Amino acid sequence: MAVKFDRLLYGGDYNPDQWLEYPEILEEDIRLMKKAHINTVTLAMFAWAKLEPEDGVYDFDWLADMIDRLYENGISVILGTPSGARPHWLADRYPEVLQVDEARRRQIFGLRHNACFTSPAYRKKVRDINMELAKRFDHHPAVILWHISNEFGGECHCPLCQQAFRDWLKERYQTIDEVNRRWNTAFWSHTYQSFDQIESPSSIGEGSIQGLALDWRRFTSHQITDFCRAEIQALRDAGAKKPATTNFMYNYPLINYHEMARVLDVVSWDNYPQWHHQKEPVTAMKSAMQHDIMRTLKKEPFLLMESSPSSVNWVPVSRLRKPGIIENASLQAIAHGSESVLYFQIRKNRGGFEKFHGAVIDHYGKEDDRVFQECCQVGDDLEQLSRMDLGRVESQVAVIYDWENRWAVEGSCGPRNENMFYKETVEKSYYAFRKLGLNVDMIDGTQELDCYRIVAAPLLYLFRPGFSEKVRRFVENGGYFILTYWSGVVDENDCCVLGGTPGGLMDVMGLRSTEIDALYEGESNEMVSVDGGKTYTCEHLCQLVKPSTARTLYQYGKDFYAGTPAATENVFGKGKAFYICADAEQAFYDDLYADIAAQAEVKRVFAQPIPEGIAVSVREDAENAYIFIQNYNAQPTAFSPDLEGAEVLLGVMDGEMKPFSTVILRKKK
Amino acid sequence: MAVKFDRLLYGGDYNPDQWLEYPEILEEDIRLMKKAHINTVTLAMFAWAKLEPEDGVYDFDWLADMIDRLYENGISVILGTPSGARPHWLADRYPEVLQVDEARRRQIFGLRHNACFTSPAYRKKVRDINMELAKRFDHHPAVILWHISNEFGGECHCPLCQQAFRDWLKERYQTIDEVNRRWNTAFWSHTYQSFDQIESPSSIGEGSIQGLALDWRRFTSHQITDFCRAEIQALRDAGAKKPATTNFMYNYPLINYHEMARVLDVVSWDNYPQWHHQKEPVTAMKSAMQHDIMRTLKKEPFLLMESSPSSVNWVPVSRLRKPGIIENASLQAIAHGSESVLYFQIRKNRGGFEKFHGAVIDHYGKEDDRVFQECCQVGDDLEQLSRMDLGRVESQVAVIYDWENRWAVEGSCGPRNENMFYKETVEKSYYAFRKLGLNVDMIDGTQELDCYRIVAAPLLYLFRPGFSEKVRRFVENGGYFILTYWSGVVDENDCCVLGGTPGGLMDVMGLRSTEIDALYEGESNEMVSVDGGKTYTCEHLCQLVKPSTARTLYQYGKDFYAGTPAATENVFGKGKAFYICADAEQAFYDDLYADIAAQAEVKRVFAQPIPEGIAVSVREDAENAYIFIQNYNAQPTAFSPDLEGAEVLLGVMDGEMKPFSTVILRKKK
Amino acid sequence: MAVKFDRLLYGGDYNPDQWLEYPEILEEDIRLMKKAHINTVTLAMFAWAKLEPEDGVYDFDWLADMIDRLYENGISVILGTPSGARPHWLADRYPEVLQVDEARRRQIFGLRHNACFTSPAYRKKVRDINMELAKRFDHHPAVILWHISNEFGGECHCPLCQQAFRDWLKERYQTIDEVNRRWNTAFWSHTYQSFDQIESPSSIGEGSIQGLALDWRRFTSHQITDFCRAEIQALRDAGAKKPATTNFMYNYPLINYHEMARVLDVVSWDNYPQWHHQKEPVTAMKSAMQHDIMRTLKKEPFLLMESSPSSVNWVPVSRLRKPGIIENASLQAIAHGSESVLYFQIRKNRGGFEKFHGAVIDHYGKEDDRVFQECCQVGDDLEQLSRMDLGRVESQVAVIYDWENRWAVEGSCGPRNENMFYKETVEKSYYAFRKLGLNVDMIDGTQELDCYRIVAAPLLYLFRPGFSEKVRRFVENGGYFILTYWSGVVDENDCCVLGGTPGGLMDVMGLRSTEIDALYEGESNEMVSVDGGKTYTCEHLCQLVKPSTARTLYQYGKDFYAGTPAATENVFGKGKAFYICADAEQAFYDDLYADIAAQAEVKRVFAQPIPEGIAVSVREDAENAYIFIQNYNAQPTAFSPDLEGAEVLLGVMDGEMKPFSTVILRKKK
């Protein structure tokens, strides 16, 4: 059941523990927060050393005081469990908590993310403090949510983890013979004689068994998820009733968030796009897709847990956000289903790694500051929007972006080892739908297809068990399915499908994939319409196919495979299956997907074309649609959609949208 | 004495041990092999875990069955010794077999090439299984050759290797004082007080003694060669009579193949050019040079042991081979003296590191496959050629490419530390000869010169002992000798020649090398003919010289040394010595070498010029010359050589050669 | 008190210990040295293994002989202490002397710079041999100077160093609470409970506490300085009276030379510019600035201890020095206050890491050698100049280049993490002054300002304690002060100034710095004069400021901050403070500084403009100015300064200066 808050949350991380010697600053912070319409802060995330200064000695009073003061000022609290940064004494007393890296070097205490998620000692200490925090604070009316640890990630190769990995494999495969069969270890005589011989991949050891590498990824993801689960269990065991989340990251590779989302009550995440590096509409689209990934994990509202109110400080070059970008990016989160806009952080640290990271309150500390002013504006917007229920995001189309496929396609050794461009390929499909003003669900290979009119599966190298059967039913029943090159190549252990690819779908697609050509950087081919339409360019990868029942839509224009299919369609049952053979340019996707959307009779919010750079998103409830129109162009952009029956809730709709501006409409359904 | 087979061998690596659970596939494989004219497979190379599943327990029956079945189908067997990939239990029981890297980290079991070649335990286990294999299979009529291990390489810095290195040094230099003198260790006070102090070069230790680094290279090469020798000895000690080889690699740096070739009965190697990355004629030339290196090791026929029938999977970008390339590349091997065309591999692995490496039989598994069809064509060609004795390759010219020089020139710290372009410089000389249609021997500094009309010694920084005397005699007796910049600079311990360079040859060359200028990327100089001929560009390195008796042919066009010699010739005895001062463009080499070849009255197979992109090679016996003409251009290329008395054995000779096509002629001598 | 020699020293490093078996070469060396006017050599720097072949057994006789022979030939000796390269037996017997790297790997013996500066065993052995050397040689009339070790550097992370670091911190901060406060360790819960927990920064440990990193830099610098101090103390304790130096390096980061200079009697350094990589005038300017840094350390004459008479061999590409460059570069040192021109080295090594490093005598060994001839010319020049007292260098302007700021600005994590261009920014200010013919002092943030008319403080991110007060007084009293973007941001522990920046100088500068924009490579902005003057470009970093009393001189031309100040001036007290907001092009600095110099009424040696590429420097005594005019252009350059009252001491002054030529004038004051 979805977690609901009584208002859109606005605020961010706040670390009063770093300012306890500056009482006048703590005072001033609350004044400034209220001025900026801040209603929520996240506390105590990195405060373990303050909360438990010595092993077993807790000091929560400063935190209790702070929560009380915030509450008195109408500010809610998201309460962190402190495992995101561990105290020194923990590593001194229990050295097993320190990670061992892939080269088998035990780390020294430092940084943040270097703890072992298997260590019983570490789990015990985390459980203890979580229970104490729950007992003390869960009932406090200010506390609305538990924030577990911080940006889980990393991997540990210590002996405890090796043993846990072996146990996990034993449970998964039962016998060592089955492991050998699944991983095809006979290659290079790597046959295991017993589970005890299995070691995680290492630059000074095994790097050639792709089945091992893939299962190590699964295990790492599983182990961190289990750690998070145990953290929440500790809260519950102490009687906590408030919901729990942890903050996910932007396109983070090492955790299958689909699995981790299951142990959470609500999904939340941290969004740090690099504004002004690429064209702003592209940056906006990439963030939008990440929002939609987060929303689709549970198909429920989510939280934007962190973002920067100005620059970050850990990229090679930190450009200032141009005026309007923060507001637009904040409202984008809401448009895609977030119930919050939260920043890292309220006040800039005095010293330390992130002392120059953007914050609502600068070291300068006063309110005549551009960033602070913009934060006030965003707070004002959200306060307005909080007065209504904006409903939910619903989608008619889906794009598959699958963690296990990602691990496999990037971990294998095939036609291109420099870059397979998996994310970029998925983004092309996503962007093509978004340019039609469609909401998009970002599902993985295990989720249901039947609720969609169109499903795109770009570069789906690894088919999850049962996937091809699911696609077959979907198309038979009238669905529109799009598959690309290098799909259906391997099974769940990264072993090759025998007898022809795409595995299990040759009849549905009406063709067989034969060879795949990889092009050097700078090389390209052409995709020529067989019906006299446009010609597009493609690069990086060109799959050669042999059609059976499929009709050729485009054919290659160059090389020895000129004239063979570059894109096809195949009627199958009541539906249709499309196959894109090569890494086509964005325009190809745009035109093809517009055509397919028309064939599939997908409903669009505006009949007229949406100008380049403008993004349209919709939230809806039973009666109303809430339409977010955002201009990400650095120039004013003409746009006059059909506004009949629409009411402007925010912004100005006069035929031209200002740079980096948002309009929100309400329209009866 | 040269090893002879009764036909050209065609086939490749075959790993039935990975398919024992798929009897229908093993059945089908034999049918498909016969269809493709395959007559030879290499077995058991990576099968140790199957052959000896536990320490001391052998299971050879599956292999015996397979050999019998192949024999019944007319397919010969090259039998591998299994040390190329070791079983897990070996590392568990004898940890000393695991390599220690240069940073002194003991490796974990994994990959292929991480065993210590010194370890007595490892040598014992290899000897045991080799003897067992020899006893069981050497007499089998299917078995025609032993294939020792696989692609020997790597280096180990373990304590056992350190001790072996010290012993090797003691034998070479007798006393520690002699080591100090040879390596000039007084520099930076690195004088050794005893052999026990000597440690191999390391990124966490010694990196400044170039004599040490060079001797470590020699020792590593020696130790692997000795390991290979011991493997063969084990076979002989068990009574084996069949010849033995191991597969060399393309330009592999760490083993002096001239020395390793001595322990083998026949040389074989693995050729994996990156087709379509550079212009195809360049790629073909580079492969041709490697073929000629392999042939010149023993000056006997050799085997192409591995190649890919389509792409490989371990390069950054794997382009598909265009139609015709595989046939052309296969016949190129024969043209240069190979008695085989063998692939890695017959059937693609189901899983593992090389599951996407090209193979005769795809995962698809059926014969309507482009690659399979091309393999059938090559098989057919070779079957035709097998009907005649093609004779041998003979050369009138030689280019020196010397492993010890390579180690020294790349390991030293001189005018350029980014890249000295040693191989590229050698290739320029090689290509210049090849463009004249000449066969070329690729000798090292220890081989005889007297059998040639012309010898080129490009960038020969290190003169092997006795080399300058050999050159002196060669030129005195009428030979044409070509030397370049940065030659004759150091002795065999990478210590500088005193008194002037090129060491021992100042009178033969008629000049002294003074300073050497290194140019930044993008900079160049000019080489201006003093006789009104062409001007060429040069880059990277410009040697300044002071002529004594030499005549200047070209002089520099720019910089403060404009007007000083850029190339010279010197009459010495009955011969002539040429000196090329700078890294000239290819055209300079082409024109100069054509001129020298004319002066030296070298015989050419065709009087007319050979078009760019066409390669001409000759094999000959007492009566006939077999002329291979190969077009490596992607376009049809006009060529009408004088065919009088020539018979076309393969291909079409009609004045224009098709892209990637071969013609073979027989001509009475 | 300044160390004085009775002539300009000319010569360099000489390692007869490597040639003891070649008596004819030692003989010839002395003949060639005298021919080249060499009067000084540095001995024994890398001879420890020869001086103490076994632990405690000294053999100094060969050195005594050599010193006698040199003395007989009129050649003085700079005597090295041998710690720059340690003998093998030292590491064998006292393994603690081997460095531990940041990843905590104990090094193996090798290279030069891998000893621990804390190790008591190492300090003891160095003290012993230094005392022996002092007793034996200090009184020798040939010996004029002690040369301590060689190019001190590196860092060690061994347990002994960790403990020394903790002790150093304890002395600096007294309590662990104070450490926590200074480093703001509360961030990420890194609070230390005790000093014992502190570990130096490591890639496998702490990398996020910038205060720790900065103090580790301070400690490392301190520890090496203390080692050097102890070496000198050993000489003194043995009764040595001769002065002592050690050779500093070009822009070396790890030692604060301002502190190390204090333990030396005279500063000396090694200058290895990469001639011909950039335009020669730029390379000359960069070397000049390093000379001025060295001179300003003590504000006394210094020594050029090493330079190459031709190329070096350890850069990626070693271009030959064009004729004239060596002479010009040698006289440049004198112009900037050096009392010597010394080379590494007299004779090229036969083997070893630097065997191809330039030397006065080549492996060839004879005098008909271009480099040797040029060395003779330089020797002749210096002999002429030695006949007069050239006086000292005095400056009216100073540029701040501060080691602690350098550590902080490069070690922090802010607007740009790729490159902050600190040195390049300082060079722009330096070059702008030099183009006016002004001598420049290169001070750090602790030195006095009151002796200057103008002080520029580019990119001074970290203000040393008391710095802002010093600036305030300087401007109040009539000084001209120039500050740039990203200045006054942090305190001495790299913690941020609260309440506005530049810290403590907002009123003096008449503005507040607000945000800072970092531009991607290739992006730029414009600085537009508000008075109708020129427009300049800027890149990398653009500070936004809010003026209070400052007057805007230039404003930005682009981006959302177009029209806001890009450079300002502020009258404060009797002086003026200028603020440059962005990384402006050189021309901006040139024009602005010319204007400021005019306002400040700085005296210039020539009234007319100095052509691009010509450098003017002045030494002076009570009566005379010695004016060095050097043309660094590769072309002849017209220049006719006012020569009234000037006498030409060296070179030709006829209205056009030859490429790479020097003129020296004497002019009565």
> What are the two backbone dihedrals, phi and then psi, of residue A634, each rounded to the nearest 5 degrees?
-75, -5
Mean pLDDT of A642-657: 92
Between positions 79 and 138 of A, the ones with CB within 8 A of C are 82, 85-89, 92, 101, 105, 107-112
Q: What is the pLDDT of residues A480-519, one digit of tens each?
A: 999 999 999 999 999 999 999 999 999 999 999 999 999 9
Residues of B in contact with A185 (CB under 8 A): 352
Nearest to A362 by CA among A343, A348, A381, A377: A348
Task: Name the region of C601 (left: φ>0; alpha: ψ -120 to 50; beta: rest).
Answer: left
Cβ-Cβ pairs closer than 8 A, A with C, add up to 165
- The beta-carbon neighbor of B110 closest among A183, A206, A521 is A206
Q: Which parts of B306-402 fold into alpha helices (H)? A: 325-335, 370-385
pLDDT per position as a tens digit, C314-365:
999 999 999 999 999 999 999 999 999 999 999 999 999 999 999 999 999 9
- Alpha carbons A642 and A605: distance in angstroms, whole number: 9
Per-residue pLDDT of C597-639, as tens digits, reads: 999 999 999 988 999 999 999 999 999 999 999 999 999 999 9
Strand partners, A528: A535, A555
Max Cα distance, chain B (Å):
77
Mean pLDDT for the stretch of residues B558-581? 98
Q: What's the gap in Å between the CA of A454 and the closest CA on chain B?
A: 30
Q: How far apart are alpha carbons B266 and B295 in whole angstroms?
A: 10
Share of chain A above pLDDT 70, in %: 100
CA distances from C395 to B120, B246, C470, C591, C602 (A): 72, 73, 19, 20, 10
Let me know if B300 is a catalytic residue.
no
Q: What is the tens place of the pLDDT at every residue in A410-446?
A: 999 999 998 999 999 999 999 999 999 999 999 999 9
Angle (CA) A498 A503 A504, round 5°: 115
Residue of B405, B562, B557, B427 lying closest to B486 (CA atoms)? B405
Report how far residue B82's alpha carbon sits from residue C404's, in angstroms, rounded to the nearest whole number.
Answer: 60
- Tell me which amino acid residue B302 is: F
Percent of chain C whose pLDDT exceeds 70: 100
Decide if C48 touches B, using CB distance below 8 A.
yes
Give the pLDDT band of residue A1 (cuts 50, 70, 90). Answer: low
Q: Is the pLDDT confidence value at A55 over 80?
A: yes
Angle A13-A15-A16 from CA coordinates, rounded to 5°: 135
% of chain B at pLDDT higher than 70 = 100
Task: Give the N- to C-terminal CA distance of chain B in Å, as an integer.
Answer: 25
Assign C515 to helix, strand or coil. Answer: strand
From chain B, the residues in CB contact with C277 under 8 A are: 520
pTM greater than the 0.95 cutoff:
yes
Question: What is the model's pLDDT at position A239?
Answer: 98
**Per the structure block, which two tokens stand in for B185?**
């260790």
Residue B1 pLDDT exceeds 70: no
Nearest residue in C to A324, CA atom: C560
Buried b / exposed e along B307-343 (16+ C-beta atoms within 10 A): bbbbbbbebebbbbbbebbbbbbbbbbbbbbbbbbbb
Task: Tell me the mean pLDDT in the region B183-205.
Answer: 95
By DSSP bridging, strand C340-343 and strand C303-306 are: unpaired
The proportion of chain B whose per-residue pLDDT surpasses 90, expressed as a percent, equals 96
Give catalytic residue positions of A: 151, 306
Confidence of residue A114 (pLDDT cuts 50, 70, 90): confident
Residue C112 · residue C249 · CB < 8 Å: no
In chain B, residues with a C-beta closer than 8 Å to the C-beta of C351 are 183-184, 187, 210-211, 490, 493-496
Q: At what angle do helices B23-35 and B61-72 cross, to 10 degrees?
A: 30
- pLDDT value for B123: 98
* A610-630 pLDDT, tens digit each: 999 999 999 999 999 999 999
The span from the CA of B61 to the CA of B44, in Å, is 12
**Token pair 């962005």 in the structure block, residue:** C582
pLDDT tens track for C493-533: 999 999 999 999 999 999 999 999 999 999 999 999 999 99
Nearest-5° Cα angle at B8, B4 to B14 = 105
Nearest-CA distance from A227 to chain C in Å? Answer: 20
State pLDDT tens for residues A63-74.
999 999 999 999
The verdict on whether C151 is a catalytic residue reads yes
The answer, for B423 touching chain A at a CB cutoff of 8 Å, is: no
Q: Between residues 510 and 529 of chain C, which touch chain A (CB distance below 8 Å)?
A: 512, 514-521
Chain C neighbours among B 127-186 (CB < 8 Å)? Answer: 181, 183-186
Does the beta-carbon distance from C418 to A317 stay under 8 Å? yes
At A388, the pLDDT band (50, 70, 90 cuts) reads confident
Check whether C426 has a pLDDT greater than 70.
yes
Q: Is the pLDDT of residue A112 over 80?
A: no
Residue-level pLDDT at B111: 77
b/e C528-544 (16+ beta carbons within 10 angstroms → b): bbeeeeeebebbbbbbb
Predicted confidence at residue C599, as pLDDT, reads 98
- Per DSSP bridges, beta strands C480-484 and C454-457 are parallel
Residue among C612, C662, C634 nearest C435 (CA): C612
Instruction: Work out the average pLDDT over C88-98.
Output: 96
Question: Angle of helix A370-385 relative to helix A325-335, nearest 10 degrees?
Answer: 30
The CA distances from residue C488 to B289, B502, C524, in Å, are 63, 60, 24
Whether C352 sits inside 8 A of B417 (CB atoms) is no
CA–chain centroid gap for C315, Å, is 19
- Structure confidence by residue, pLDDT tens digits, C100-126: 999 999 999 987 768 999 999 999 999
> Cα B195–B200–B205 angle (5° rounding)?
105
Q: Which of A117, A57, A137, A64 is nearest to A89 (CA)?
A: A57
- CB count within 10 Å of CB C411 equals 14
Distance to chain A for C513, nearest Cα, Å: 10
Confidence bin at B388 (pLDDT 50/70/90): confident
DSSP A137-193: HTT-TTEEEEE-SSS------SHHHHHHHHHHHHHHHSSHHHHHHHHTTTGGG---S
Confidence of residue C221 (pLDDT cuts 50, 70, 90): very high
Which residue of B107, B348, B354 is in closest CB contact with A204? B107
Q: Tell me the pLDDT band of B488, cut-offs 50, 70 and 90.
A: very high
List the single residue in C with minimal CA-CA distance to B519.
C319
Calpha distance A628→C158 (Å, rounded): 60
Query: d(Cα A6, Cα A24) in Å, to the nearest integer?
Result: 31
pLDDT band at residue B110, thresholds of 50, 70 and 90? confident
Contact B191 C87 (CB under 8 A): yes
Mean pLDDT of chain A: 96
Question: Are residues A50 and C189, on separate chains, in Cβ contact within 8 Å?
Answer: yes
Asked if the model's pLDDT at residue A27 lies above 70, the reply is yes
Question: What pLDDT is attached to residue C388?
Answer: 87
d(CA B70, nearest CA chain A) in Å: 21
Looking at per-residue confidence, does C261 or C642 come out higher?
C261
Report the residue from B89, B107, B351 with minimal CB separation from A187. B351
Q: Are B162 and B102 in contact (CB under 8 A)?
A: no
Judge whether B323 and A426 are in contact, CB under 8 Å.
no
Residues 199-238 of C with CB under 8 A from A: 199, 202, 204-211
Q: Which two tokens stand for residue A659?
A: 């740079």
B52 Cβ under 8 Å from any chain A Cβ: no
Q: Do A355 and C204 touch (CB under 8 A)?
A: no
Residues of A in contact with C210 (CB under 8 A): 351-353, 355
Q: Would you mind telling me the total number of residues written for chain C in this entry?
A: 669
pLDDT tens column, C166-220: 999 999 999 999 999 999 999 888 999 999 999 999 999 999 999 999 999 999 9
